[in-house]
Structure 1
């Protein structure tokens, strides 16, 4: 409350208690003077008394132990008590001086502030708290929230375009060839397997012999086309010596036949595409190049009495189990080979590996001849030159045996080699200019030829090298083996 409303109730300044909080002050020129004089009974023209005494202070700094006022003509009765000063008063208006300093030895009534050490410690604590709170705030503002969403977020529309591709591109070639590629599901008496094939003229399907061999003794063959329609099929004929077979589906559903190329025009480095059903994944397309030509490959098990000898096209296009029988096509979409075998790091079934970049395909020119013979006669002709090879020879080239083997003479006098002048013990060095490394390669090259094909052979007799020209022939007409 202000001095204007505080009751005096006859108390002297020594009776007053400590000021109770900071009082409210009115402006110095707004009724304050009149209110005070009315309360104390003084005239407005009278000078305001200057109290001295204990607790009041002397403007001159002199301490006094008595409560007294100056007397004079302008002052009221001496016995009139002076008004109490306002709590925590400051100079306001004329006649009011600053509070006197405390007397020596008297206790200080003011509140002492904290020393410097406390302030420094407090500042350090505040700084640490501010740093921690700032880090926490940054984390809370930047941490990811599973529930935070942005309704306006967008990655924009996908680019416009179409799925058409140039005819010469891999995609263009694949789009033309895929409809003619089929998948075969074969069930035998005690086993089952899958493979690939492709449709040729007349609604026939060319595939590998080892793909359909399981069904040769009363099994079933199911053919699935690229449009996912399926039908049953029967074996037309098989040729284990070339690992080729022909089957006839009951229905082709209007599937277009595939175009056959010329494998004699293939060169190393040509781009090729392998299409088939590796591991049962139908319609799989892989690309690569022709890695090598005339690669001798023996297809079949180790104990197979009649393995297939293939002078194969080697490719690095990925070929895996299930690709067998599928087409290897060139950049024009023409079939140049029939995928038949892959090289693996182990022959054990338990450790069989997939593609390691070494795949082998039967040249299409050989497959064309075998397919025609199977369709027309039920079996393919086996070509020969009429010699028996010495399997124990480990020198340069391939040596003709010197002794009869299994009832056969080393050189058939009526065969192509005998008519060309070759004799037992001669060493064959080259065939059509290709250096021969072993007997597998020579057999594979001869079986890849068609009956009536002429070949040039370089051979060595003693220390003399000679040349011979001969025409390969077929064995006696085979007995048709339709299934």
Structure 2
């Protein structure tokens, strides 16, 4: 096969052309057998040499393309010898006979005109797509990047070229697949490299740089949080250890002023009232000896005194402002575990609680909470969410049917309201003893009806006492106190003890089936 030709077109548009040789260069368009140079515009197109037959399409044997593509039509307004003839440049020689080759027009008679027409039709049948234009730099533009240029000699109404299946479409599809494959490989390698680089960087960072330390204030907690309240209250809460005759007991307490007074439960220190040692363990681990200033079994409260005066007291809040559902915090030394904090809510109010017995019986109009309270919590504070003391933890419920003083938290703990604790503490600090109000009646503990019944004995109502002055009679059933319904004797007692001496109150009694309201003024117990 001849890859190039030195035979010029003898009838170019500018007259006879001079012989010249087309330089061979890389074109970017790969032929099946050779690489040919694409002619520059205005340069006469070379004529293809002889070679193998070109590809055909369809039963008719017509090659892809048309006369419009090659510019060889006599009606195109341009000589076929001056147009860019792709087939002559790149295509091998086509067969002149055989299946699929159009019959020559002069097959049946000889004629120069018939020969010319047959040759033109033959070329038109095998015309390929138009060769793409050259770039401004002289290098050919890739076929996959731009559409094929239309031959300026082609009529505007000519049909668009059909891609050649063997030379045009297939290489473009292969080139597209190759480009897609390369792009995918680049993307995958970039992703893998990025991940590997990050892993290496992380490993180097962890190996060479220490992990960051918490910054300043990282342990600070917002005001009103449990952690913040506990941090503020714990230095003011103490553990009380009582040693008597070789035995010991543990309870809790808290500082109430700057003079070294500590408020706790009476039952925590009562064993050491006559003899024994009381040691106070502070939050920082220091220990101090303490003595009893005063105690009251009726309210189950006691005040101790130690020599330390540098401790910050806890502030007492208003228990009459507490409502069911308020969040609370209990602090103390349950089971000897000092500086323990538990949380819960107020689960009930005005719960009548009467722990102890005999001369040590107590009557508490208690705040009930589900905060965990165990033996050792006694005397410790029950705090609200502002850090104020609203109660003094005093008792826990026991499962019905069990006996003894041992037990643990079952979700029902009881605290003395702070309003009562404040009055009693003030009295104990001032005089060593506390007063509590009475109405001057004896109650029938065997009464099973609704309310608290006054005994029918003649001395059941103390002469000259508050009840006598109000008009209470033996046998009356008290069913109300200051608007609160009374169902048991203990409810009446704790309701009266929750008041102060001198308070004016109203009793509702049932006498001979008739309800009567009786106003009265509470007085101090003469026996105290």
User: Is the 1:200–1:258 Cα contact (8 Å) retained in structure 2?
Assistant: yes
Asked if 1:218 corresponds to 2:275, the answer is: yes
1:4-403 alignment to 2 at 5 Å? Answer: 157=211, 160=214, 162-201=218-257, 202-252=259-309, 254-301=310-357, 304-345=358-399, 347-349=402-404, 352-403=406-457
Counterpart residue number, 2:482: 432
TM-score of the aligned structures, taking structure 1 as reference length: 0.63
Equivalent residue in structure 2 for 1:450, among 500, 506, 512: 500
What SS does structure 2 have at the residue aligned with 1:257?
coil
What SS does structure 1 have at the residue aligned with 2:354?
strand
Q: Deviations over 1:69-98 (max 9, x none)?
A: xxxxxxxxxxxxxxxxxxxxxxxxxxxxxx
Q: CA deviation at 1:370?
A: 0.9
What SS does structure 1 have at the residue aligned with 2:415?
strand
Asked if 1:415 corresponds to 2:492, the answer is: no
Partner Cα distance (2:365, 2:468) in 1: 24
Q: Deviations over 1:1-26 (max 9, x none)?
A: xxxxxxxxxxxxxxxxxxxxxxxxxx
Asked if 1:472 corresponds to 2:522, the answer is: yes
Partner Cα distance (2:402, 2:376) in 1: 17
User: Is the 1:191–1:214 Cα contact (8 Å) retained in structure 2?
Assistant: no
Gaps of 5+ in 2: 1-202
Partner Cα distance (2:321, 2:231) in 1: 24
Q: CA deviation at 1:347?
A: 4.5
TM-score of the aligned structures, taking structure 2 as reference length: 0.58
**Kindly tell me: are residues 158 and 355 of structure 1, through their superposed partners in 2, closer, same or farther at Cα, counting changes over 3 Å?**
farther
Query: Of the two structures, which has the highest relative contact order with CA contacts closer than 8 Å and spacing of 6 or more?
Result: 1
Partner Cα distance (1:416, 1:158) in 2: 73
What is the CA RMSD across the aligned residues, in angstroms?
2.2
Partner Cα distance (2:518, 2:212) in 1: 68
What SS does structure 2 have at the residue aligned with 1:344?
coil
What SS does structure 2 have at the residue aligned with 1:260?
coil
**Kindly tell me: are residues 222 and 463 of structure 1, through their superposed partners in 2, closer, same or farther at Cα, counting changes over 3 Å?**
same
Partner Cα distance (1:160, 1:477) in 2: 63
Q: CA deviation at 1:159?
A: 8.0
Q: CA deviation at 1:152?
A: 11
Partner Cα distance (1:398, 1:158) in 2: 69
What SS does structure 1 have at the residue aligned with 2:359?
coil
Counterpart residue number, 1:441: 491
**Kindly tell me: are residues 195 and 151 of structure 1, through their superposed partners in 2, closer, same or farther at Cα, counting changes over 3 Å?**
farther
Partner Cα distance (2:212, 2:494) in 1: 54
User: Is the 1:192–1:214 Cα contact (8 Å) retained in structure 2?
Assistant: no
Q: Deviations over 1:383-429 (max 9, x none)?
A: 2011110111101111111015xxxx211231111111111111111
Partner Cα distance (1:469, 1:197) in 2: 39
Counterpart residue number, 2:13: none
What SS does structure 1 have at the residue aligned with 2:395?
strand
What SS does structure 2 have at the residue aligned with 1:337?
strand
Gaps of 5+ in 1: 1-149, 479-483
Q: CA deviation at 1:285?
A: 0.6
Q: CA deviation at 1:466?
A: 1.2
Partner Cα distance (2:354, 2:211) in 1: 55
Q: CA deviation at 1:372?
A: 1.0
Q: CA deviation at 1:431?
A: 1.1
- Length, aligned pairs only: 321
Partner Cα distance (1:463, 1:382) in 2: 32
Moved over 2 A (4+): 150-154, 156-161, 346-350
User: Is the 1:381–1:477 Cα contact (8 Å) retained in structure 2?
Assistant: no
Counterpart residue number, 2:103: none
**Kindly tell me: are residues 283 and 424 of structure 1, through their superposed partners in 2, closer, same or farther at Cα, counting changes over 3 Å?**
same
User: Is the 2:235–2:283 Cα contact (8 Å) retained in structure 1?
Assistant: yes
Q: Deviations over 1:327-363 (max 9, x none)?
A: 001111110100000002254348x331010000001
Partner Cα distance (1:415, 1:211) in 2: 34
**Kindly tell me: are residues 399 and 349 of structure 1, through their superposed partners in 2, closer, same or farther at Cα, counting changes over 3 Å?**
closer
Q: CA deviation at 1:452?
A: 1.0
User: Is the 1:198–1:326 Cα contact (8 Å) retained in structure 2?
Assistant: yes
